[in-house]
Amino acid sequence: MSNTVQTKQEILTAVRDTYGTLVTRKQLIAFEDANGNGRKICAFIGKLYRSGRGQYTLPAVYVAPAGSRSASKVRASTITIDAPDAAANTVVDENESLSFAVNQSTSAKDILKNIEDLVAQSSALAKVPEKNSAFVEFGEFKTIRKIIKSKQFHPVFITGLSGNGKTFQVEQACAVEKVEHIRINITLETDEDDLIGGFRLKNGETVFELGPIPVAMLRGCPITIDEIDLASPKVLCLQPVLEGRSLTIKKLGITIAPKPGFTVFATANTKGRGSDDGRFVGTNLLNEAFLERFPITVEQSYPSINVEKKILLKSYEQLGAKATPSDVTFFETLARWAETIRVTYFEEGIEDLISTRRLVHIVKTYAIFGDEQQALTLCLNRFDKSVQSQFVDLYKKFAPETAEPVVESPDADDAANAVAPVTDTVVDVESLDQNFQHDVSQDA
């Protein structure tokens, strides 16, 4: 075989077809023995795609390293930013509501009938989410979708670190099933009026505004209670709702029964036990009896490297940009870099981590500015300087030919309190496996 880029692409494709995207040193040697005619045809894989000790994650497209510095930048003039409608990412208009005048002489039965008719005729608050072209199935998506599809009442508590798609999974499951969905965001001040409904003064008239919970019950659709671990004990008003029983609105003297299809999803960064490490300030201890009313708890992890690569590519293309081979390599590098940071974080070798949401921010910034370095610099500025430096050091191990993001040196006070450099607990991404390096270090 000749050492052309085309041939290396063929080798890369053949190895992927034979072993998949994650291969081992032994598999590469076996492939060389079977196809190399005594030549070390997989040397470039050993140099470029190491993802662990003796393991290599293969991209779909080979890009020559010699051109990576210049090819790593996308000319901004070639990108047409055609952002999707806001509705693709936001399914609730917080200004929508269901308000109606209440005559004290009206009977409870008539009030209930009026409410049922009003909710049936209006889709205020409840929307079928639009399918998002950047969405990729992973984690507990199938579990969530099955519950929605069953139309059974089966509340689910979804917990996981920030920015890993907990709410997005529910919205997209509803989009796939073409089911209406309501999303509400919880704060410490959220109370029964916000959830169930209460009297308001509008245009000089006292009206009752129906809250999202009874609307979801009467529409027969799932509702997501976002960031529920920020709530105060006032959310205990939802306990009968979480049991699947009828809801009594005491202020109106009526009782609402849930329709088929109604269920509750609650998302949280903790399991209702608060945050001891200070990462999620404001989270509270949730009542044990309240938590016990969720039959299912699912733990949402960050996606795998391969899934995350797809998310980044789709997020880029969603903006109307066409990905080049160097773009694909950049996205793969970001995914591998983020995974290494997370492993290091859980081994207590670094103080922060990179979420999937943060990676999407980087990709979208890159689409706007057309510069990897600038995108990384701008999107890493939210972290402390010492953490930024650790992130950059790790990034350089994956993309040594890419100019590093600019991180200003911390001042004397910051330096004194800086986190120690990543040491033994950091995943070893700098050197190749010694035996494999000896076997495939050069083409014959």
Q: What is the pLDDT of residues 162-206, one digit of tens each?
A: 889 999 999 999 999 999 999 999 988 899 999 999 998 888 888
Which residues does 188 contact at the CB level (< 8 Å), separation at least 6? 230, 231, 232, 282, 284
Mean pLDDT computed over every residue of the chain: 81
Question: Does 4 have pLDDT greater than 50?
Answer: no
Alpha helices by DSSP H, listed for 93-244, are 108-121, 141-150, 166-177, 192-195, 212-219, 239-242
Q: How far is residue 82 from each of residues 74, 78, 328, 368, measured CA to CA in Å?
A: 16, 12, 19, 11
CB 84 within 8 A of CB 315: no
Long-range contacts of residues 346-351, Cβ cutoff 8 Å, at least 24 apart:
347/425, 347/426, 348/425, 349/422, 349/423, 349/424, 349/425, 349/426, 350/387, 350/390, 350/419, 350/422, 350/426, 351/384, 351/386, 351/387, 351/419
CB 48 within 8 A of CB 398: no
Q: What is the pLDDT of residues 272-300, one digit of tens each?
A: 665 555 555 456 667 788 889 999 999 99
Element (H, E) at 331: helix 325-346
Q: What is the pLDDT of residues 288-335, one digit of tens each?
A: 888 899 999 999 999 999 999 999 999 999 999 999 999 999 999 999
CB 358 within 8 A of CB 163: yes
Give the pairing of strands 222-226 and 156-159: unpaired
Distance separating alpha carbons of residues 183 and 128, to the nearest angstrom: 11
Domains (range + CATH), the chain: 5-79+304-440 (no CATH), 87-124+141-299 (3.40.50.300)
Find, among 61, 72, 55, the residue nearest to 399 by Cα. Answer: 72
Find, among 306, 333, 313, the residue nearest to 400 by Cα. Answer: 333
Q: Chain-centre distance of CA 215, in angstroms?
A: 28
**Tokens, residue 138:** 């992973």
Question: Does 37 have pLDDT greater than 60?
Answer: yes
CA dihedral 292, 293, 298, 299 (to 10 degrees): -50
pLDDT of residue 382: 92
> In this predicted structure, which of 80-84, 127-131, 323-327 has the lowest mean pLDDT?
80-84
pLDDT of residue 43: 87
Q: What is the pLDDT of residues 230-265, one digit of tens each?
A: 888 888 899 999 999 999 999 999 999 999 999 999
Q: Name residue 127's beta-bridge partners.
A: 181
> In this predicted structure, which of 8-22, 34-48, 404-418 has the lowest mean pLDDT?
404-418
CA dihedral 127, 130, 136, 139 (to 10 degrees): 0
Edge-first strand order for the sheet with 156-159 is 182-185, 222-226, 263-268, 156-159, 296-299
Distance separating alpha carbons of residues 208 and 311, to the nearest angstrom: 43
Find, among 204, 206, 199, the residue nearest to 249 by Cα. Answer: 199
pLDDT band at 421; cut points 50, 70, 90? very low
Sign of the Cα pseudo-torsion (354, 355, 361, 367, in order): positive
